[in-house]
A and B are shown apart, each in its own frame.
Chain A
């Protein structure tokens, strides 16, 4: 029996367990949740040889500082992250998409995400956590999921079970690229907006504000004017929906979004661009580009093929 655990010396800003999300619960108000950046989550698990939906630790901006106690494990970190491995007599500067060995007493210091928001830590083996509604995703607002529905906190222990350190260390050459435009399909209330605002929506730049989290991304820019009604009868929403409340500033619904909303929907971000969207930190500029359904479907296929191709290149 393997007895290992992480001691949380510093929890980081928003560190939670996540997996591929929680299905079939929108009708009772429970959001999908899951890893914000699916590709990086997938690659993190693939590099340490885990199942595709194994829970990983997601962090935002500043990550955790963890001390390993017990038996040796392997881990890797994905995203665009600065991290160090602190051993008794040396410090190793870590590279993303490369697995490393961590021994009893070693510390893993995930200092920051660079020009991005989220990163993932996967270990070979699994954490000792329980699924809720078939998912290991934590939703801190509704207190659902592992760790009693809470963020990972200072001084807690994260138990590791069935640690698998036998796999040789592996690596992938990959660099996250920034996205030029966020592609969107017109929303169901697109025609609520003035002719000028419809044009501005696709012509002007919007910036990501600090009021952005796992629930939503608030944007600022030229105000979008609504000619019909600034409220609609509340109805279901999905991630990627861009709602515009009466103040004229768009809000993009992200993975922990409320399941029902009453603001007009001007657009919906396509599935293929979601991972790149969520990685835009506050202050980033966004430009929307209109796209039709058929092209969006094709782009999603390409996105998936690219992910699979990356997985196959792990050596």
Chain B
């Protein structure tokens, strides 16, 4: 199922699952990720699944590219129990003070604010991967009418909880961070809990996210 394995530097395997970005390809990536994780293969220090790639980094004092490549190529894949993700409800407030880019998006996409939110809230989103910053989910796919490019100049600070869209994806900034996505709202939920070592992430790859629009008053209640 992996189309090609090459080396990324001297201490990582770059597993390519093809150019397409869709749920099917991503499900294969996640299946490999979970199988490799379970096997606890000597020397592996990190496994990073993304839309259509899997990066396996390793400790060069314990194994080598060729050795590990062989192991991955001959890996017996098991069906993963609990492979069905959870469905997670995420409240978002789209008040003007949170929706930093909504007016720009109206221009970029040439549709009204009402239409943007109607399209955005009308579907559920699949979590392809988490990362970039801790807990940050990459979700998809957005309606075809909502696909805009990133900001030309990324923001230095995006507030924690901001929900952004770009291309076919949306995301949630788990804490304040730089970033270039078009921000349309903010969730009061804590997406990454650094005090919970077992389950730090609210959303994990394979999960489905269902966004729910809330008012500013409802938003404030989360902090009471």
Contact = CB atoms under 8 A, between A and B. Distances in A.
Interface in B55-84: 55, 57, 60-61, 64-65
B162 interface: no
B50 A270 contact: no
A32 B46 contact: yes
B9 A260 contact: no
B45 interface: yes
A185 B9 contact: yes
Contacts of A283: none
A293 B10 contact: yes
A238 interface: yes
Interface size class of A (residues with CB under 8 A): 35 or more
A133 B198 CA distance: 9
A142 B174 CA distance: 9
B175 interface: yes
Contacts of B45: 23-24, 32
A185 B11 CA distance: 11
A26 B46 contact: yes
Contacts of B205: 27
A260 B46 contact: no
Contacts of A234: 50-51, 129, 132, 138
Given A27-B33, A238-B57, A259 B10 contact: no
Interface residues of B, number: 46
A23 B37 CA distance: 12
A20 B42 CA distance: 17
A296 B194 CA distance: 36
Contact of B131 (A27, A144, A187, A269): A27
A141 B11 CA distance: 25
A284 interface: no
A269 B37 CA distance: 26
Contact of A132 (B37, B197, B204): B197
25 contacts: A24-B37, A24-B47, A26-B131, A27-B46, A28-B130, A28-B131, A28-B192, A28-B200, A142-B194, A185-B9, A234-B138, A236-B49, A236-B53, A236-B54, A236-B55, A237-B48, A238-B11, A260-B50, A260-B132, A265-B8, A293-B10, A297-B64, A300-B10, A300-B61, A304-B61
